[in-house]
Chains A and B, each alone.
Chain A
């Protein structure tokens, strides 16, 4: 079963990363790399990506005829934007939640867990049953 684990800007119990000490950032990145390696070694990682910051985001809307309306940032609600995701192929939902919990407790300022909210969503990749 495939699950997508999503992480938004905001949603963590700490100051934004730009205010962390360099070693704290380094430790956090090392943690993310270890997590990615762990999921590869366990045969569960499908994909993991981090997205560029909300400052570079653009919102596009179109009626298919007139030129599209493109909105550039900054956006007041940037903390609701996606920061990154993992796609994992796991035995069951419990395991997806376990991975999300691990990702949520990534180290932040002072090495304390940042308690990032992780959204766990099943990917629609289950085969159809005979109806």
Chain B
């Protein structure tokens, strides 16, 4: 990310369009993606010093096509092309650039991929990031990341998915995968908070940019809008979420004047607009919960009964025990710690040994006026988290109770 922002933004915007064009011409998604990556790297080195060419899209497409031809001269590539020719879609009307971006997202977030593979592939093929940038964000060597991306592409090829829109039958599940991957990219950036992970914050911005692109193409889809609302409503709290030394500050203790009002207004407007359109899905509900937090002047003045009701709706839609955990917290805040602790008891089987269960129990025991039991639960939670800032927070919490 050394180039000037304008070149960088331009390249990222053009990346999926160029890739779409090359795939239409040559059919081989995996090879085309490599060729476009090479063209992007070449442009990011040349354009900042030599200036942006008059037709940047044409420049990139031409360079990428030339790479494809070079590559296809080799024996191995020829064999791969022959294998692929059989599975290639019959030529039809060429979809527009707009469709290409969506098709690429559907392909990169294919359900056959694990998130650990889909995330870097999406960032590279659709987001236009370089392998080096992605490797740096996830703290692995560039060669390892390059290999991970190329294996992801192999898996897509062997799954037999062509470069086309999912059918109407496939569409809901495929869209769910896309939104899930975008949500995970956002979280990677949002929850990284300290030291060498600082630059991961850029991932949140990238997730918002990509979700915005999806929303521009599927503006009538309520869950796309829900996710796009959820991101700024969450991101708004980022400045208050960590202290000067990177330590975690829980929601109840955050300085709310540091929340970004602009982002809150942006997310709320989107949310209100989409909720008016009918039935609410999980992302809309999460956005609604974030909005209730965001509009409360203090933790005490939060509309906890409403948050409790929203988590109740969410719990009916998803089998995620973390949702039940959050519902228990809302119940405690609305009706007292005992109400929350009772709900936690029912979660022991599904979250046994998970640090969040212990951290939540600790918090509710503290509220209930049992500092000794709370300190013990904070200690258990601290020993079971794999996050450095969380361990510091939980250990400090236990220590504070011990001093009383």
Contact = CB atoms under 8 A, between A and B. Distances in A.
Contacts of A131: 248, 250-251, 359, 390, 393
B144 A130 contact: no
Given A43-B151, A89-B138, A125 B386 contact: yes
A130 B241 CA distance: 9
A126 interface: yes
B141 A45 contact: yes
9 contacts: A43-B148, A44-B144, A46-B140, A89-B116, A125-B386, A128-B387, A130-B191, A130-B251, A131-B251
A50 interface: no
B141 A46 contact: yes
Interface of A: 1-2, 40-47, 89, 91, 122-131
B386 A124 contact: yes
Given A43-B146, A124-B387, A131-B390, 14 more contacts: A40-B143, A40-B144, A45-B144, A46-B140, A46-B141, A47-B141, A91-B114, A125-B139, A125-B388, A127-B197, A127-B387, A128-B393, A129-B356, A131-B251
B361 interface: no
B contact patch SS: helix
B199 to A, nearest CB: 13
A122 B144 contact: no
B385 interface: yes
**Ordered nearest first, which 3 A-B pairs have the shortest CB separation?**
A43-B148, A127-B191, A126-B386
A contact patch SS: loop
Nearest to B290: A130
B193 interface: yes
Nearest to A124: B388
B147 A41 contact: yes
Contacts of A128: 191, 193, 248, 387-390, 393
A119 to B, nearest CB: 16
Contacts of A124: 386-388, 391
B187 interface: yes
B188 interface: yes
Nearest to A122: B386
A46 B144 contact: yes
Nearest to B148: A43
B145 interface: yes
Contacts of A123: 386
Given A40-B143, A46-B139, A91-B114, A129 B151 contact: no
B192 interface: yes
B196 to A, nearest CB: 9
Interface in B134-165: 138-141, 143-149, 151
A63 B241 CA distance: 36
Contact of A43 (B145, B188, B387, B388): B145
Nearest to B293: A130
A120 to B, nearest CB: 13
A125 B359 CA distance: 19
A131 B381 CA distance: 12
A1 B145 CA distance: 14
A126 B393 CA distance: 14
